Structure 1
Amino acid sequence: MSTIDIRHAHSLPLAQARKAVEGVATKLGDKFGMDYRWEGDVLHFVRSGVDGHIALTPQQVQVTAKLGFLLSAMKGPIESEIRRVLDERF
């Protein structure tokens, strides 16, 4: 099992950052069948082979995910795509 842990600084108001994360989660949910739920300022997501969360603070977004065996082989491309989306949205 591999773990992804990415921290990305942002300067958005927390409500706007939350909307950005919600937009990404909605797209991922539609595209990959991912379920998600908010607990405070933390969005938890899960689907077969992935379990993680996105935590928001006033100055940072932190994405943490545990990848199952099959997705572990794709860790590099998955991390690259997460970083690209964070750069684009924040």
Structure 2
Amino acid sequence: MARIIVERAHGRGLEAARAEAEILAEDLAEKFGMKYRWSGETLEFKGSGAKGEMHCAEDEISLNMELSFVLRPFKTRIEQEIHKYLDEFASK
């Protein structure tokens, strides 16, 4: 499996981080049929092509995702999109 790890500092607070993680999870669920749930401050997600978690903190969001063999060729593109999304969130 290919792994994507992204950490992004932000100054928006825990509630904003959780809200942004929820929006991202809803988008992943819609596009890729992933299921997700909250466990404390960590959003866990799983689908046929990927699984992982996004941890929300007062000043940081961290994402750890494993891609299946099928999605491995798209790792760079997926990682770029995640970086772009979290960069936009952190700069708000």
Q: TM-score, normalised by structure 1?
A: 0.94
- Counterpart in the other structure of 2:30: 30
- Counterpart in the other structure of 1:82: 82
Q: Does 1:65 align with 2:65?
A: yes
Letter in structure 1 aligned against 2:15: A
- Counterpart in the other structure of 2:44: 44
Partner-residue secondary structure (3-state), 2:71: helix
Conservation of the 8 A alpha-carbon contact between 2:51 and 2:65: yes
User: Which digits, 9 at most, give the CA deviation of each residue in 1:29-66, with x for residues without a partner?
Assistant: 12221100000000000100201000112111111011
In the alignment, structure 1 segments of 5+ residues that lack a partner are none
In the alignment, structure 2 segments of 5+ residues that lack a partner are none
- Counterpart in the other structure of 1:9: 9
Letter in structure 2 aligned against 1:56: C
Q: Does 1:53 align with 2:53?
A: yes
How much is the aligned-residue C-alpha RMSD, in angstroms? 0.9
Cα distance in 1, alignment partners of residues 10 and 82 from structure 2: 15
Shift of 1:78: 0.6
Q: How many residues align?
A: 90
What fraction of aligned residue pairs are identical, expressed as a percent? Answer: 38
Segment of structure 1 superposing worse, 23-32 or 9-18: 23-32
Structure 1's consecutive aligned runs of 4 or more residues displaced over 3 angstroms after TM superposition are none
Letter in structure 2 aligned against 1:44: E
Partner-residue secondary structure (3-state), 1:63: strand
